[in-house]
Amino acid sequence: MHHSDRDPPALRRRTLLRALAGAGTLGALPALGGCGADPRNDPRRVTMAFNRVQEMELAGMNDLLDVFHAATDYTVEVDNFEPNSYQESINNYLQGTPDDVIAWFGGYRLRFFAERGLISDLSHLWDGPLAGSFSQAHKELCTGDDGKQYLVPYYSYPWAFYYRPSLFAEHGYEPPATRAELLDLCERMRDDGLDPIGYGTREGWPAMGTFDYLNLRINGPEFHTDLANGDAPWDGPEVREVFSAWAELLPHHQPDPLGRSFDEAQTALLRKECGMLLAGLFVSQALPEEEADDLDFFVFPEYDTSVGTGAVEAPTDGFMLSADPRNPEGAEALLTHIGGLEAQELYADRDPQALPAHVDTDTASFSDLERKALELIDGAETITQFLDRDTRPDFAAVVAIPAFQRFLRQPDDIRELTSDLERQKRSVFG
């Protein structure tokens, strides 16, 4: 894999890229004008919904599809959607006339779509041409409640504590491995005039990372899944212990996190105004090229020796097959290509945060940080998603985010907070 050219060239237009950035909803593809046969009935035509609009992401997808077009007789039409609008509207979209191949991610909503028959079983691809291509953790992430696979993953990126090695070296800090070591490091950083943990949660969603990792380290991944599925109580001792552990960290966060954006917290890390930041690999893209080697990470420390650190939060993107694709043969050929090593490395070469999901990825040309991040994902016992991917969207947005923001304002109100969370959970999940 080649990482020397970070600036994507002008995009090729072999595919039909209809960029719908800012669209509020997803709809069926518009009818194409002109005379003659309806191109929607063309057996060589495959349609794809892609939820990315950044230049590097479009360039990666173009490279991936160029190889597919050269090797097959199919033509792929790509419908590009702004990510937030896509995520908000996909339920209705899947119940209309969706594209053949549909971008999505692992987690609760994948299982939700599978249970309702809105997407197709891809187990025959996992057992056939893609056999052995992905780790067991990735397979579980792509599996429905019926034990069948419904997603072909193409990239992941891990969340961890990112830090500047030069800052650690200057003060003699060592990455902590346990809860006690983390708290001790925070105290030392405070004594040295640093905000230990960069924190910006104005957007709401960043707080989910802290809750998720504390829950994974204290209660384990099985409880995390049960809680996200609505099967475990939010007012039980397990969740209260998570909030108590979070309260223990609050004095070490940057002050006023609700008034700070995540980007501002990231900037504080890069300026060495804070000691560490719980973030995804995307933080590396903000570093100047000459400082690219001055970024590292450590896994979220161990809180319970019986639970360990085997669970990794690594949002994973992939593609589904619609329930009734217009061109099932072409769509499956495309999905097989997307799951292949060459396609995944081509895409990742354009999008620096995208680590190929394929187990045979060549890391020889990776940076040390990229190689370490991929090794973390490949070695994970369990891969989890951010809470907004692992649970119902109405619970994540309407209940969880406001509750976490309330906690940051009133951390001493844990019992009442968790009681309210459980009450609202029952209202949402039934």
pLDDT confidence of 18, banded at 50, 70, 90?
Answer: very low
Q: What is the pLDDT of residues 403-426, one digit of tens each?
A: 999 999 999 999 999 999 999 999
pLDDT confidence of 229, banded at 50, 70, 90?
Answer: very high
pLDDT for res 365: 83
Residues 221-249, mean pLDDT to the nearest whole number: 97
- pLDDT > 60? residue 2: no
Identity at 8, one-letter amino acid code:
P
- pLDDT > 80? residue 37: no
* DSSP per position, 4-24: S--S--SPP-SSEEEEETT-S
Best CA proximity match to 61, nearest among 70, 72, 52 = 52
- pLDDT > 80? residue 6: no
pLDDT confidence of 21, banded at 50, 70, 90?
Answer: very low
- pLDDT > 80? residue 87: yes
Is the Cβ–Cβ distance between 230 and 429 less than 8 Å? yes
Sheet holding 101-105, edge to edge: 16-20, 75-81, 45-50, 101-105, 316-321, 152-156, 355-356
pLDDT for res 268: 97
Is the Cβ–Cβ distance between 36 and 6 less than 8 Å? no
Q: Where are the alpha helices (DSSP H) in 271-354?
A: 328-338, 341-350
* DSSP per position, 96-150: S---SEEEEESSHHHHHHHHTT-B---HHHHHTTTTTSS-HHHHHHTB-TTS-B-
Neighbouring CB atoms inside 10 A of 327's CB total 20
Q: What is the pLDDT of residues 362-380, one digit of tens each?
A: 998 899 999 999 999 999 9
Is the Cβ–Cβ distance between 396 and 107 less than 8 Å? no
Residues 212-231, mean pLDDT to the nearest whole number: 97
* Contacting residues for 324 by C-beta, under 8 A, at least 6 apart: none
Residues 85-104, mean pLDDT to the nearest whole number: 93
Q: Pick the residue with more confidence: 38 or 205? A: 205
Residues 196-208, mean pLDDT to the nearest whole number: 95
- pLDDT > 70? residue 4: no
Neighbouring CB atoms inside 10 A of 377's CB total 22
The H helix count followed by the E strand count for the chain is 18, 13
Residue 84, strand partner residues: none
Best CA proximity match to 284, nearest among 372, 389, 216 = 372
pLDDT for res 402: 96
pLDDT for res 34: 36
3-state secondary structure of 297: strand
16-156+316-360 and 159-313+385-429 have identical folds: yes
* Contacting residues for 376 by C-beta, under 8 A, at least 6 apart: 158, 160, 299, 312, 314
DSSP-derived letter for residue 397 is I
pLDDT for res 40: 60
- pLDDT > 50? residue 33: no
Is the Cβ–Cβ distance between 52 and 106 less than 8 Å? no
Residue with tokens 């708290």: 183
3-state secondary structure of 330: helix
- pLDDT > 50? residue 139: yes
- Residue 197 CA to residue 215 CA, distance in Å, equals 18
pLDDT for res 109: 87
Instruction: Tell me the domain boundaries of the chain.
Output: 16-156+316-360, 159-313+385-429
Residue 81, strand partner residues: 20
Tell me the percentage of the chain whose pLDDT exceeds 70.
91
Identity at 388, one-letter amino acid code:
D
> Which pairing describes strands 274-280 and 152-156: parallel, antiparallel, or unpaired?
unpaired
- Residue 394 CA to residue 429 CA, distance in Å, equals 10
- Residue 64 CA to residue 15 CA, distance in Å, equals 11
Structure tokens at 261: 């954006």
- Residue 55 CA to residue 154 CA, distance in Å, equals 18
Helix or strand holding residue 70 (H, E) = helix 55-71
* Contacting residues for 365 by C-beta, under 8 A, at least 6 apart: 1, 2, 3, 4
CATH code of the region 16-156+316-360: 3.40.190.10
pLDDT for res 307: 98
Residue with tokens 């991936």: 64
Residues 28-54, mean pLDDT to the nearest whole number: 67
Between 3.40.50.300, 3.40.50.150, 3.40.30.10, 3.40.190.10, what CATH number should domain 159-313+385-429 receive?
Answer: 3.40.190.10
Total-model pTM: 0.86
pLDDT for res 39: 57
Strands (E), 209-341: 274-280, 296-298, 311-313, 316-321
Residues 232-237, mean pLDDT to the nearest whole number: 98
- pLDDT > 70? residue 1: no
Q: What is the pLDDT of residues 261-305, one digit of tens each?
A: 999 999 999 999 999 999 999 999 888 889 989 999 999 999 999
- pLDDT > 70? residue 138: yes
pLDDT for res 119: 98
